[in-house]
Amino acid sequence: MTGIACCALFLPSAVHADVSLSTFDSTGWGNGMTGLTGTYADWTSATITQNATSLTVVSTQFGGGWMIPTSPTFINGVAGGENTLRLTIDIQPGNAANGINVVLFSGAGANAGFSFNLTGLSGTQVLTKNLLIPNFFNAGSLATWNPSQIGTEMHIQGNFANNNALNISFADLSTVTTVPEPTTLALAGLGGMAMLTLFRRRSSK
């Protein structure tokens, strides 16, 4: 009975909500942000297409763009206990870029950057990063990063070397909750039972 109780501790919660930050279409963020507000570097001359379901960027060198909502309203990215940033993109034929960045601005004064590696990928991809521990900061630090206050500004950037061509459609950016897979949970439960058995054997000596 003790071993069963030990395993039960690893069971995840049954309900997890997603928080949409951007669908990259004409509806933008839920706070009035639609499309790119501006661009910089090579993206000023890139081919950028806004359509009903995504935003497609075709460029030949490093660049980026930003979105600023017309009616700034903070989005609580961790309202339901979310711990992961999920980006859905479609990597088009001819893309040679090996990475992209998403930079989220927090009301607490931090611009947190998340780097997604595209090496060897093609077609539709769902990429994830740890929402609570960004890869870099353009301003602020981990101490001032507050994912419960997202929404004053967002940047998307091509992150690549050697002037590789970028051809990507951005489809969705959300915060989600990830939990261990059932296999991981089972292994953790077996590990807990093994440790308990070892402890009992040592205690009986």
Residue 140 CB: number of other CB atoms within 10 A? 17
Contact 85, 126 (CB under 8 A): no
Task: Give all domains of the chain, ordered by start, each with its CATH number.
Answer: 31-165 (2.60.120)
Which pLDDT score, from 0 to 100, does residue 158 have?
85
The conformation of residue 195, written as its DSSP 8-state character, comes to H
Written in H, E and C, the secondary structure of 144-172 is CCCCCCEEEEEEEEECCCCCCCEEEEEEE
Per the listing, tokens 């991809």 go with: 125
Q: Which amino acid is at 27?
A: T
In whole angstroms, give the CA distance from residue 37 to residue 203.
67
Burial of 84 (0-12, 13-18, 19+ CB in 10 A): middle
Ranges of beta strands (E only) in the chain are: 19-22, 38-41, 47-50, 55-59, 63-67, 84-91, 99-106, 111-117, 123-130, 136-139, 150-158, 166-176
- What are 183-204's pLDDT values in tens digits? 444 444 555 555 555 555 555 6
* Max avg pLDDT among 69-73, 169-173, 180-184: 169-173
Which pLDDT score, from 0 to 100, does residue 1 have?
47
Res 80 pLDDT > 80: yes
- What are 37-57's pLDDT values in tens digits? 899 998 999 999 888 888 899
Q: What mean pLDDT comes out for the span 75-80?
A: 89
- What are 107-132's pLDDT values in tens digits? 888 999 999 999 899 999 999 999 99
- What are 84-106's pLDDT values in tens digits? 999 999 999 988 888 999 999 99
Q: What mean pLDDT comes out for the span 58-81?
A: 84
- What are 130-154's pLDDT values in tens digits? 999 999 999 999 999 999 998 778 8
Q: What mean pLDDT comes out for the span 74-83?
A: 89
Q: Is 171 left (phi over 0), alpha (psi -120 to 50) or beta?
A: alpha
Task: Determine the Cα angle at 63 with ends 59 and 69, to 5°.
Answer: 110
